[in-house]
Amino acid sequence: MAETIRSFGDPVLRSVADPVKDFDKELRALVRSLTLTMRAKPGRAGLAAPQIGVPVRVLVYSYDGAEGHLVNPVLELSQRRIVADEACLSAPGLWWPLERSFMVTARGRDMHGKQKTVRALGVLARVLQHEADHLDGVLFSDHLPAEEQRRFLSTVP
């Protein structure tokens, strides 16, 4: 069953998520729930646990045939950057141009505790950066210049 996604303004989206310590059946259930919730939403490409009110360091992603999850991810960003439109399931219907690294190497673990590395380019790299930001209480609008940030926030329902 799909979970309710928290909207901009919810304090859980501004909290730094706790590292996962136990790779147990509760974690596996969370990964399944995140994946089902992500799949149920239009424009889905990723979702982080804080977006469903669970403040732990877990994210899921799905783009162009690459689908998976990362627990306790750490990202290495390329110097090459690119501007593209970005959106968030916590602010549905709003797209905004944002600069992000073009390539990412994300290291973490899977839901069973096994080490996992994801190398991504373009849109998938953007998705991983966006979802990892959620784990640190950062919203994509935080990356906008001050004037753009004010304009964006004035459009958030």
Rounded Cα–Cα distance for residues 84 and 39 (Å): 22
Q: Tell me the one-letter amino acid at 156.
A: V
Which residues have a catalytic role annotated? 131
Q: Could you tell me if 112 and 23 are in contact, meaning their C-beta atoms sit under 8 angstroms apart?
A: yes
**Which of 88, 103, 70 minimizes the C-alpha distance to 143?**
88
Cα Dmax for the chain: 45
